[in-house]
A = this chain, B = another copy of it.
């Protein structure tokens, strides 16, 4: 129980801040005082304060204590509900450049640091064992199109634990989440159809829409609400929208966790207007403080296609994802068969063992702690050094969304910095309408090192 004392204190402090017990600019009680008043250890107080600092509810001033920051609302990108006509799009070359540099979640992509983590050693051991166990002439057979049934059982169980009643037979193994999104769009849309997306939203989805010649409607989305339900409804009333792509759990770039009532409203709209809902759930297992439900858990009408993979949570080298295709399941399996026949059996079996023996869950628990710590390190850095910026404080995932002063042009910064070997992810690649020019996405996916701090300092110099 002792573990949760810091949470109680954090809650008490947060309520005080919200209630106005301490005004903006005021100093909080000292650490010693808080220890005495609440009968907790110094470490507990520091932990609570650190968390509040990370959420920018308090500011640490060296040798002076903790203060309530001056009024500064979290500026969330929000757009008038103007309904633009759906358009065919062209994805920017910068995005292709970022992706070919392998830099989407990094600042210095050439820097591969440290020892191989023990979790990956264990995963590789499982993969190796699966190769060794491979029998007879199995190499002469393709796997079944839907993928290894044992792995699908493990995945169904993982979804069950998140309150989503999926059967193994309802799942199809893919070559990653992007491949799953691709299959979902191929199954639900035809060239020329209109698809709604979050704005800002995942660039990978925008690329797919371009390639499949689908028309795009951008719906404003914010860190606090997820996709704007009212804006979605007004667009549904006007345009023949066929499908919508959303990331309810820790959407990239903002890290937003869509509130439950908005999820329910979204599904009601989907039913009313008969559209497919394509859920990108790649960060769904990566909530720091509590488990999240997939949107598919609330799906009563078999119209949520849920896509995910192990690329963000475990390894980008595995190339294993999955899709719960709802009413489009059979069509999706056929599409997978046609576009690439099958997945690697031995990889699937190795991964399956790694999950079945508990290694994956153990790893995930630790990994979420690591990510939370790295997030807090990044937030503390930003809080202390980037007073000119606003940023979101995601409760999961691997990145946050920074709003720079309006004069900043992150596309320009991208070119300038790439000469120094630093790659930033500029805001405009998360939209098709040249928005978010003074935004950027920062990742906390990597170890917090001197090199990263230096890179952020260089970035600051260019901004200031």
Binding site for B on A (CB under 8 A): 96, 99-100, 102, 104-106, 109, 112-117, 120, 124, 127-128, 131-132, 134-145, 175-176, 178-179, 182, 186, 190-191, 204, 207-208, 210-211, 213, 311, 314-319, 334-335, 337-347, 445-447
Contacts and interface: CB of A to CB of B under 8 A. Distances in A.
B207 A338 contact: yes
A132 B128 CA distance: 9
Contacts of A109: 141
A179 B114 contact: no
11 contacts: A100-B337, A102-B144, A112-B136, A113-B137, A116-B135, A124-B346, A128-B132, A176-B340, A182-B338, A317-B344, A317-B345
B339 A179 contact: yes
The secondary-structure label for the interface of chain A is loop
B136 A115 contact: yes
A360 to B, nearest CB: 14
A100 B144 contact: yes
B136 A127 contact: no
A147 to B, nearest CB: 12
Contacts of A186: 211
Contacts of A105: 140
Given A116-B135, A145-B100, A318 B344 contact: yes
A161 to B, nearest CB: 24
Given A96-B337, A134-B124, A211-B338, A315 B139 contact: yes
B142 A338 contact: no
A174 to B, nearest CB: 8
A136 B109 CA distance: 13
Nearest to A99: B337
B102 A340 contact: no
A344 B347 contact: yes
Contacts of A347: 344, 347
A124 B133 CA distance: 10
A140 B213 CA distance: 31
Contacts of A311: 142, 341
A302 B113 CA distance: 42
Contacts of A337: 96, 99-100, 207
Nearest to A178: B341
Nearest to A103: B141
B142 A120 contact: no
B346 A317 contact: yes
A338 B208 contact: yes
A319 to B, nearest CB: 5
A204 B112 CA distance: 40
A114 B128 contact: no
A134 B117 CA distance: 11
A445 B139 CA distance: 12
